Amino acid sequence: MQRGRKKTSAIEYNSNFVLNYPNACSNITSTVNSFQGGVCMKGSIYTDQRCEICGGTLRHDENRDGFFCKNHLKIKVVPEKCRVKFGRQVSRRFYNYEYLKARQFLEGLRFKTIEGTYDYRDYLSKNPLGFQNLAEKWLAHKEHYISKNHHRNIKREIRKAIDTWGQTNVKAIGYGEIQDFLDSLKLSSKSKSEVRSVLHTFFTWVCRREKSVEMPDFPEVKFELGWRNIINIETQQAIISEVKRISWDINPKIWIGIKWLATYIAFRPNELRMLKESEINVSGFFVVPKAERKKAEADYHAARRY
C-alpha cells in the first residue's frame, strides 16, 4: 500500500461493486430471495478417502456433482465410501460407490425440511418411532395400571400387529394399512373388533407421547353378538337344589357360592373367590371390602385414559 493513499472500507467496495456491476447484484438479490422462499442447503456429504495423487483431502462440490482435491480440481472422484451428515442428529453411511444414493438421501432431507415434515427421529438407527419399539413401551406402561389377565389379552392382540408391521414407522401406518391388517386376520368380526380397539388405544397413547405423530383413521368393524341360552327361574332353582344335594357332604362352599352368584348378579366371581370367612356376618350377610373395590376402580379408570 502506498503512503498517503486513502483507505477504502468494505462498504465503499460494495458500493463500487454495485455501481460497476448492476446485473451481477440483481442476480445475487434474486438468489437471496429464493433462499428466503424455501431453499435449504443444510447438510453435506463427506468421505475419508484421499486423493490418489497427492493424498489430499477430497471435498464435495454440489455444483460439479462429485468430490475434488484442491490440488487437482479437474479430476472428479467418486469415493467408494461416503457419509451424509445433516445437523448433529442424522448421519448415514453409504458403501460400494453409492454416491448417487447419498446425494438423493441428502436432497430428500432438505425437501422434508422445506416441507416442514422433517423429524430427525425418522432417520435414527435405533428407530424410536418404530411400531415394535413403541408397542413394547406401551405394554410396559400398561402393566402398572391393569390386571394381569387384561395385560395378557392386549399383549396377545398387539403381538399380531407386531408380526405384521415390525419396526415400521408409526407415521407410515394409516387407514389402509390398518384395514389390510384386520382383513388378513382369520378371526371372527367380534375378535377383529377387539384387535381394532387395542390398536386404537395404543395409537391414542402414541399421539399423546409423540407430538409429531397424528392419529390415523380407523376402519369400522361391524359385528353382531349372538344370543345366550338362558333358563327360567324354576329350572335355575332346580339346578341349584341338585348342586346342594350332591355337594353338601363334600363341601358346602360349592353350593353357597353358586347360590350367591345366582342371587346377587352384581357380585363378581373373582370377588367371591377373594372373600374371607371373617367378612361374612353370622346372619348370612357379607360385605365386599370397599377400599379394594375403589382402588380397583381408580386403577381401571386411570388405565382407560391411556
The DSSP secondary structure of the chain, one letter per residue, reads --TTPPP--HHHHHHHHHHH-HHHHHHHHHHHHHHHTT-----EEE---B-TTT-PBEEEETTTTEEEETTEEEEEE--SSEEEEETTTEEEEE-SS-HHHHHHHHHHHHHHHHHT---GGGG-TT-TTBHHHHHHHHHHHHTTTS-HHHHHHHHHHHHHHHHHHTT-BGGG--HHHHHHHHHH--S-HHHHHHHHHHHHHHHHHHHHH-TTPPPPP-------PPPPP---HHHHHHHHHHHHHHHTTT-HHHHHHHHHHHH-TTS-HHHHHH--GGGB-TTS-B---HHHHHHHHHHHHHHHT-
Domain limit, last residue, from 120, 154, 188: 120
Output the tens digit of pLDDT for each of the chain's 306 residues.
445 444 433 333 333 433 344 444 333 333 333 333 467 788 888 888 898 888 888 988 888 888 999 888 888 888 888 888 888 888 888 888 888 888 888 888 888 888 777 777 777 777 888 999 999 999 999 988 888 889 999 999 999 999 999 999 898 899 999 999 999 999 888 899 999 999 999 999 999 988 788 899 999 888 777 777 888 889 999 999 999 999 999 998 899 889 888 888 877 788 888 877 777 776 656 666 643 444 554 444 444 444
| Pairing verdict, β 90-94 and 82-86 | antiparallel
* Same domain assignment for residues 69 and 106: yes
Q: Which long-range contacts (CB under 8 A, 24 or more apart) does 229-237 make?
A: 236/262
5: cell is: 493513499
Domain limit, last residue, from 99, 120, 141: 120
Give me the number of domains the chain comprises. Answer: 3
* Same domain assignment for residues 112 and 143: no
* Same domain assignment for residues 109 and 137: no
Q: Give the whole-angstrom CA distance, residue 204 versus residue 193.
A: 16
Is 18 domain-assigned?
A: no
Tell me which H or E stretch contains 77. Answer: strand 72-77
**CA dihedral of 174, 128, 126, 98, whole degrees rounded to 10:** 40
What's the Cα-to-Cα distance from 93 to each of 78, 88, 219, 282, rounded to whole Å? 15, 15, 39, 78
- What single-letter amino acid sits at 283? S
Is 162 domain-assigned?
A: yes
Q: For the segment 275-289, what is each residue's pLDDT rounded down to a tens digit?
A: 777 777 766 566 666
262: cell is: 345366582
Q: Give the whole-angstrom CA distance, residue 146 versus residue 203.
A: 18
The pTM assigned to this predicted structure is 0.55
Is 298 domain-assigned?
A: yes
* Same domain assignment for residues 141 and 202: yes
Percent of all residues in the chain with a pLDDT value above 90, rounded to a whole number: 28
291: cell is: 377400599
Q: Which domain holds residue 262?
A: 233-304
Work out the mean pLDDT of the chain and round it to a whole number.
Answer: 78
Is 26 domain-assigned?
A: no
- What single-letter amino acid sits at 183? D
Is 11 domain-assigned?
A: no
